[in-house]
Amino acid sequence: MKQYCRLKTLLGTTLTAVSALGINQVLANGQITFVSQGGAYQEAQTAAILDPVAEALGITIHQDSAPDAWPMIRTQGTTGQAVWDVIDTPPLNCVRGGNQGLIEPLDFSRVPNAESMPDEYKTPYSVAYEFYSSVLAYNPEVFDDNPPQSWADFWDVDAFPGNRSLRNHPLGTLEAALLADGVAPEALYPLDVDRAFNKLEEIKPHITTWWTSGGQSAQLLYDGEVDMLMMWNGRVSAIMNEGARADFTYNEGILQNTHLCIIKGSRNLDTATDFINAAIDPEYQANLPLYIDYGPGNPAAFDTGKISEERSRELPSFPDNAERQVLMSYEWWSSSAGEDAERRWLDFMQQ
């Protein structure tokens, strides 16, 4: 135990040293460290949102990236040594982190831009930043004029023969199973987990592969390895632009988003809060779709006139598209029932 403690202290000291280095660079108007998921997505938001906001507020934005922010949120939150300030992450992490005292509650009185946003786009700790969707994608050559248009079609192996793939993760997959079983979208939550797993058992023998990474899902469709699958809309449109035989529908897509939240013990809490308010400003939000196939977190962005009608229709959070989809409830997934469902997944995969 002593050794354990000492190593913990050592880790803490290292983190302090690292953050002290950052503080030496303090500039007049404040600074924050912003964390997102890297890759093309982070580059897109740098051009669309981060750079313009930094200029407007006169702050310096340091960037970091982590494909899975949760372990770092835990480490920084439990050691009390925050290196990060603002995190762009699924709301599940914000809510779960908030409940465990690792995330600061968001002071909405200082975030006026959030006022007009729908309540379901906000949590006590965070606010929606951008939207993506888990959609039904397919190979149009295989299905000609009659492609699958719902999860019920995906489950109907007689009417729509072909190889299928789903994500190796319960998030979104359980929702699709229940929609296929005839549950009304508005009656989805709380999820009937038993019913969802029973429905999944039905389709299991027809699933060629359960994908793990977004890139893998793109490869499966691109190479014709599967004929239909659930995948993220940005991934489908990326391979469609490359000329792959691919298409998708927003029907019954599982609308998901990432939120912005602030790590507990942030040294730049004020600047971070101001940053969040600016980052969800409709004007900056409207820039995002110009760079990448993700929708703005703030629907008011569609009223700025910046996003063309044609472009709007391609985005997951465009009101007409959003209406056909189901908004994932991260509140349910962060509840104990959600956590149990997540644990049950591994058991299901091995049967």
Partner 1 sequence: MKSTALAEHNALGNSRDASLRYRRREHMLMFILMSPAVLIVFLLLIVPLAWLIIQSFYVGDGVSLEHYRRIFTERVYWNTFLLTFRISFVVTLLAFLMGYPLAYAATVLPKRWAIVILAIVILPFWTSVLVRAYAWLILLQRSGVVNEALMGVGLTSAPLSLVHNELGTIIATVHILLPFMVLPLYATMQKIPRDLLMAGASLGASPLHVFRWVFFPLSLSGVLAGVTLVFVLCLGFYITPELMGGGRTVMASMLVSRNIQLYSDWGAASAVSVVLLMCVLVIFYVVSRLISLERILGTK
Shortest Å, Cβ 64 to partner 1: 20
Residue 208 Cβ vs partner 1, minimum distance, rounded to whole Å: 6
Amino acid occupying residue 3 = Q
CB-based burial label for 19 (10 Å; 0-12, 13-18, 19+): middle
Extract the tokens encoding 95.
């809510």
The token pair at 52 is: 């313009």
Eight-state DSSP code of residue 301: G
CB 105, min distance to partner 1, A:
20
Residue whose CB is less far from partner 1, 3 or 146: 3
For the CB of residue 74, give the shortest distance to partner 1 in the complex, in Å: 6
User: Which residue in 184, 180, 183 sits closest to 199, CA to CA?
Assistant: 180
Closer to partner 1 by CB, 170 or 316: give it.
170
Three-state SS for 23-76 is HCCCCCCCEEEEEECCHHHHHHHHHHHHHHHHHHHCCEEEEEECCCCHHHHHHH
Whose Cβ is closer to partner 1: residue 19's or residue 168's? 168
The answer to whether 66 touches 37, Cβ cutoff 8 Å, is: yes
* Residues forming the site for partner 1 (CB under 8 A): 1, 3-4, 7, 68, 70-71, 74, 96, 163, 168, 208-212, 216, 219, 223-225, 339, 342-343, 346-347, 349-350
Q: How far is Cα 130 from Cα 279, in angstroms, rounded to an integer?
A: 10
**Smallest separation (angstroms) from partner 1 to the CB of 4:** 5
What is the per-residue DSSP string for 127-140? EEEEEEEEEEEE-H
* Cβ closest to partner 1, residue 1 vs residue 20: 1
Give least dist CB 243 to partner 1, A: 17
Nearest CA to 33 out of 57, 62, 65, 70 is that of 62
Q: How far is the CB of 231 from partner 1 (least distance, A)?
A: 14
* Closer residue to partner 1 (CB): 1 or 187: 1
Task: State which residue, 154 or 250, has the beta carbon closest to partner 1.
Answer: 154
Closest CB to partner 1 among 209 and 249? Answer: 209
